[in-house]
Chains A and B, each alone.
Chain A
Amino acid sequence: MDIKTYISSGIIESYALGTASQEESAILECVMKNNAEVMQAVFETQEIFEKLATQQAMEPPSFLKAEIRKKLEFNTSAENVGKIIPLTKKVEESTSSSIPGWMKAASVAVLFGLGYLGYEVNSKNNQIQEIASNNTELSSKVSHLEEMNAVYKNSKKIMLKGVEKHPDMLAEVYWNDSKQVYLDIKNLPAAPTGKQYQLWAIVDGKPVDMGMYDEQNQSKVQPMKSVETPQAFAITLEKAGGNATPTMEEMYVMGTI
């Protein structure tokens, strides 16, 4: 059957009207995908009903929208932070008042005074807040430095350099006297959701799991497991929680002792 005949066979009208059988519909949908003329004919016919619907639109009862909304689950977009509740200003016009004029002036002055005081207090509060936050910043810096010091003392530093696939990557491993290992992933990119970096130590030619790097953790230098006789270290990107064996194609950096 040639295309022209098919198009004028009435199947397209049936399809748009909803009277075509499942089989006929499936056939048409298949033909549509492979023939632009048929696709166009179908879309044109469907458009008739779109126009009809638009022009025969009837306003639904006003309560319906809320009812429907209740049944749907929404993901609030990032911009939707809070509900904006408009404040309606009531402008009251006072016709007569029994408050003497001087009182009105005085009260205004007091208000100004209070306002200024309020401003002063506020700015002092802001200053205090600033100092407090500086303080917390400093103390966290200090503890971080203390931490780093403990690690660097008595440790051997091993640079893990990027493999062929990730040439400029760098990580650092500190292998402490007490055999504890610390990892700093330096410039490795943030792991995608659901994935995590895993550290491996090569012992006797075999990879041994040294733990996962926690990107949520504030500390850049994190304690991992301990190892007695590592020959080398490597980092691979695994699924969150890690893998029993390393995924070799996902190796980022590596370094020998």
Chain B
Amino acid sequence: MKKQILSPDQIVSLLVSRDEKGFNYLYENYSGALYGVIFRVVRYEEEANEVMQDVFVKIWNSISSYDKAKATLYTWMLNIARNSAIDRLKSKSFQNDLQNQSIPDFVNDGMGLSTEQKHEFNEVQEHVNKLREDYRILINKAYFGGFTQEEIAEELQIPLGTVKTRTRAALIELREILKDFRIIFLFFLLK
């Protein structure tokens, strides 16, 4: 299947001119990645759906503030998605909803998911799961949980300095894990 690939500059240009083609391209190529992040933060489908809508609206309306010297378009969007999801997670209304329910297990529970989504959820949590447990907790808490390093240090009862160095090591290892996967992935594509 011939798929048109646009450069980030081209995508930005479409978005800036509010061209519907820009939205379609964005949704087709990035909605999955964004939804995955959002879901892993809020963990409930209904909330994820709502946040997803907010995120696209935010991207659409604030594209003029995108600065390519600071990050790629993809990262910029991921940050919008992650931050919106964490805001929702920490919001009062969400916390109230959670109070009467058991809080799902952070890493492995795919509550409220269709069977297919559960499959995706579990399958690829493996990357982060492949990390040693102490690394994994850091990434999950910081990235998907929105905890600051101080909060993490306090909760895990370890020095802040350790959190910092361990985080660095965790990311280096995560990068390695993702690299390997990519090679296998490419292999499948080329066969």
Residues of A within 8 A of B (CB): 8-10, 13-14, 16-19, 29, 32-33, 39, 42-43, 45-61, 64-65, 67-69, 71-77, 80
In the complex, how many angstroms separate the beta carbon of A42 from the nearest chain B beta carbon?
8
Instruction: Check A72 against B23 for contact (C-beta < 8 Å).
Output: yes
B residues 131-167 with Cβ under 8 Å of A? 139, 142-143, 146-149, 164-165, 167
Chain B residues packing against A (C-beta within 8 Å): 17-21, 23, 27, 31-37, 39-40, 45, 48-49, 52-53, 56-57, 60, 69-72, 74-75, 78-79, 82-83, 86, 116-117, 120-121, 124-125, 127-128, 139, 142-143, 146-149, 164-165, 167-168, 171, 174-175, 178, 181-182, 185
How many angstroms from the CA of A51 to the CA of B175 in the assembled complex? 9
| 28 A-B pairs (CB sep. < 8 Å) | A10-B167, A14-B164, A18-B86, A19-B149, A33-B69, A39-B69, A43-B72, A47-B72, A48-B175, A49-B75, A49-B143, A50-B72, A50-B78, A53-B33, A53-B37, A53-B78, A56-B37, A56-B127, A57-B32, A57-B35, A57-B120, A58-B117, A59-B116, A60-B49, A61-B49, A64-B53, A72-B57, A75-B17
Known: A17-B167, A54-B33. 18 other contacts (CB 8 A): A13-B171, A14-B149, A14-B164, A17-B171, A18-B143, A19-B142, A39-B69, A46-B75, A50-B78, A51-B175, A51-B182, A52-B128, A56-B37, A58-B32, A58-B35, A64-B31, A77-B19, A77-B21
Which of B23, B35, B142, B181 is in CB contact (< 8 Å) with A60?
A: B35
Chain A residues near B147 (CB-CB < 8 A):
19
Chain B residues contacting A18 (CB-CB under 8 Å) are 79, 82-83, 86, 142-143, 146
**Min C-beta distance of B13 to chain A, whole Å:** 11
The residue among B48, B128, B149 with the most chain A CB atoms within 10 A of its own CB is: B149
| Candidate in A29, A55, A73 with the most chain B CB atoms within 10 angstroms | A55
Q: Report if A53-B34 is in contact (Cβ < 8 Å); known contacts: A17-B167, A19-B142, A61-B45.
A: yes
DSSP majority for the B interface? helix
Q: Assess the A56–B125 pair: CB atoms within 8 A.
A: yes
Q: Say yes or no: B20 contacts A80, CB within 8 Å.
A: yes
> Among B19, B69, B120, B139, which residue has its beta carbon within 8 angstroms of that of A75?
B19
Distance between Cα atoms of A17 and B82 in the complex (Å): 10
**Do residues B56 and A60 form an inter-chain contact, with CB atoms below 8 A?**
no
Q: State how many angstroms separate the Cβ of A145 from the closest Cβ of chain B.
A: 44
Cα A60 to Cα B32 with chains together (Å): 6
- A73/B53 contact (C-beta < 8 A), A57-B36, A65-B31 known: no
CA distance A8 to B172 in the complex (A): 12
Cα distance, A77 to B15, chains bound together (Å)? 12
**A56 touching B56 by the CB < 8 A rule?**
no
* B71 & A72 in contact (Cβ 8 Å cutoff): no
Q: Evaluate contact between B171 and A56: CB separation under 8 angstroms.
A: no
Closest to B56 in A: A68
User: Out of A9, A43, A48, A74, which one reaches B174, CB within 8 Å?
Assistant: A48
Question: Which of the residues B69, B79, B83, B174 comes within 8 Å of A52, measured between beta carbons?
Answer: B174
Alpha-carbon separation in the docked complex, A199 to B39 (Å): 64
Residue of B nearest to A69 (CB): B23
| B70 engages A29 (CB within 8 Å) | yes
> A51's closest neighbor in chain B, by CB?
B178
Minimal beta-carbon separation of A183 from chain B (angstroms) = 36
| Least CB distance, B90 to chain A, in whole angstroms | 13
Q: Please measure, in the bound complex, the distance between the C-alpha atom of A65 and the C-alpha atom of B29, giving whole angstroms.
A: 12
Q: Would A76 and B52 count as touching, CB distance under 8 A?
A: no
Contact of A13 among B20, B36, B39, B168 (CB under 8 A): B168
Q: A67 contacts which chain B residues (CB < 8 A)?
A: 49, 53
In the complex, the answer to whether B35 meets A45 with C-beta atoms within 8 Å is no
CA distance A17 to B120 in the complex (A): 23
Q: How far is the CA of A43 from the CA of B175 in the complex (A)?
A: 13
Known: A56-B36, A68-B52. A16 touches B20 (CB 8 A): no
Report whether A43 and B71 are in contact in the complex, using a CB–CB cutoff of 8 Å.
yes
Q: How far is the CA of A58 from the CA of B146 in the complex (A)?
A: 20
Nearest residue in B to A9 (C-beta to C-beta)? Answer: B164
CB distance from B40 to the nearest CB of A (A): 7
